[in-house]
Amino acid sequence: MFNSANPKNKIKTLHSLTIVFWNANGVRNRSADIRNFLEEHSPDIFLIQETKLRPEINFSIPNYDVYRTDRPQRNNAPTQGGGTGILIKKSLPHYHIPTPQLHFVEATSISLNLTNKEPFTVTSIYILQDTDPTLYTLDLETLIQLGPNPIICSDFNAQHQNWGSPINTTRGKELVRFTQVLGMEILAPPSPTRFGFNSATILDLAVIKDFILPFSIISLPELYSDHNPVKLTFQLKFTTLHNSVTTHTDWTKFQNYLKNQIDYRPLKINSNTDIEIAVEKFTKNLQNAHRFATKMVKKSTATFIHANIKDWIKTRNKTKKAWQTLRNPLIKTELNRIEKLIKKLDKNSRQKDQTEELEALNTEDGIRFGEKQR
């Protein structure tokens, strides 16, 4: 939490709330792609469906809090399907809402609590593929009771002429019926969100209730999946604390300070008072070392992504847009080739960074990672 008494904490006024939702078809090995997208678009909230993560797999993004609901592994399956997640900027006041018992969808929910505004209840859901197309709305009814002003985003895999589909599927008709009965609204972008080899449909939708805010919603030909991310922007003026600085500690300086200040010879302890004095002295040395090695630096919301990876992502997005427009199989082949290259570069980059980090860790006797002790 930011300390409002800190003069470096400033009130920042924003004029829109941006939510992006995306069926990722898996987020592993896509760290650079997702971080680059978040850096380019800076959404306040990023909802993901089909994360395909297992509980033991770490997934974190700088400057965002991450909440996720992983699908329990079934029958020791080697791969994991489904799963939902929400990324929200750390600067936004919010809390995670525990997922209630559901039968037909997977979900992750948060409550967004902006200053002087009613709370918003934001939910990312994934509808199980074998779900009866008329029953999933039972879980939707449960989810809209989690809090006021619900915003539910998903690949609903539902088609209806109300949002530009050529046909009305059973799931689409059920969603229309459900929202009409409860007085809810379906928001859909004007262009397709899911692209197959011979199809282009609008499947990724947002369902809202009790909203009177102006909004815009568009499908973005970015990231890599058969689904485009959908950007939903509400015109909403609100304020948030903006911390413009952070601290950086040089741990080498920290160590050197302690080496020069601390007498490592055994202490003569004869009483409880001696212990208290020794502990107090040691604590002061730690605090002084930290002050000596720490400085204030300007805070950046950018995440480091190697320049060549950013360039390839830009090329990939252009290629994806060209394929979605022209539907040329040769362009699709090139798109897949570029994506494989991005994944390979990202993997190699992360391995290189980890190796350099390990090699920089010196043990007390000067042995580096990978060297044998003699």
pLDDT digits (tens, 9 = 90+) for 327-358: 999 999 999 999 999 989 888 887 776 666 56
Q: Phi and psi of 4, rounded to 5°?
A: -65, -15
Do 153 and 283 share a structural domain?
A: no
- pLDDT value for 11: 72
**CATH number of residue 170's parent domain:** 3.60.10.10
Which residue range(s) make up the domain with 356? 307-361
Do 195 and 78 share a structural domain?
A: yes
Do 211 and 292 share a structural domain?
A: no
Do 171 and 90 share a structural domain?
A: yes
Residue 316 domain flag: yes
Q: How many domains does the chain have?
A: 3
Residue 94 domain flag: yes
pLDDT band at 363; cut points 50, 70, 90: very low
- pLDDT value for 7: 44
| Whole-angstrom distance, CA of residue 373 vs CA of residue 334 | 49
Do 228 and 195 share a structural domain?
A: yes
pLDDT band at 2; cut points 50, 70, 90: very low
CB neighbourhood size of 22 (10 A)? 27
Do 195 and 64 share a structural domain?
A: yes
Chain centroid to CA 166: 33
Mean pLDDT of 210-238: 93
| Whole-angstrom distance, CA of residue 86 vs CA of residue 20 | 10
- All residues at 6 or more sequence positions from 18 whose CB lies less than 8 Å from its CB, including other chains: 41, 42, 43, 44, 45, 231, 232, 233, 234
- pLDDT value for 374: 39
Q: Which of 59-63, 149-153, 246-250, 286-290 has the lowest mean pLDDT?
A: 246-250
84-100 per-residue burial string, b: 16 or more CB within 10 A, e: under 16: bbbbbbebbebeebebe
Residue 224 domain flag: yes
Mean pLDDT of 62-90: 86
- pLDDT value for 164: 93
Do 254 and 144 share a structural domain?
A: no
Q: Answer yes or no: is pLDDT of 237 > 60.
A: yes
pTM of the model: 0.78
Q: Answer yes or no: is pLDDT of 373 > 60.
A: no
Q: Answer yes or no: is pLDDT of 183 > 70.
A: yes
Residue 373 domain flag: no
Residue 148 domain flag: yes
- pLDDT value for 121: 97
Using DSSP's 3-state secondary structure scheme, residue 99 falls into coil
Q: Which residues are registered as beta bridge partners of 107?
A: 125
Do 340 and 258 share a structural domain?
A: no
Residue 372 domain flag: no
Q: Identify the CA nearest to 84 among candidates 135, 47, 137, 128.
A: 47
Residue 222 domain flag: yes
Give the angle 42-158-122 at the CA atoms, nearest 5°: 35
Q: Answer yes or no: is pLDDT of 78 > 90.
A: no
Half-sphere exposure of residue 26, counting CA atoms within 13 Å on the CB side? 7
- pLDDT value for 267: 75
Domain boundary among 236, 258, 282: 236
Higher pLDDT, 28 or 106: 106
Q: Answer yes or no: is pLDDT of 146 > 80.
A: yes
Residue 6 domain flag: no
Higher pLDDT, 171 or 266: 171
Mean pLDDT across the chain, nearest whole number? 86
Do 290 and 320 share a structural domain?
A: no
- pLDDT value for 292: 85
pLDDT band at 360; cut points 50, 70, 90: low
Do 333 and 231 share a structural domain?
A: no
Domain boundary among 236, 255, 284: 236
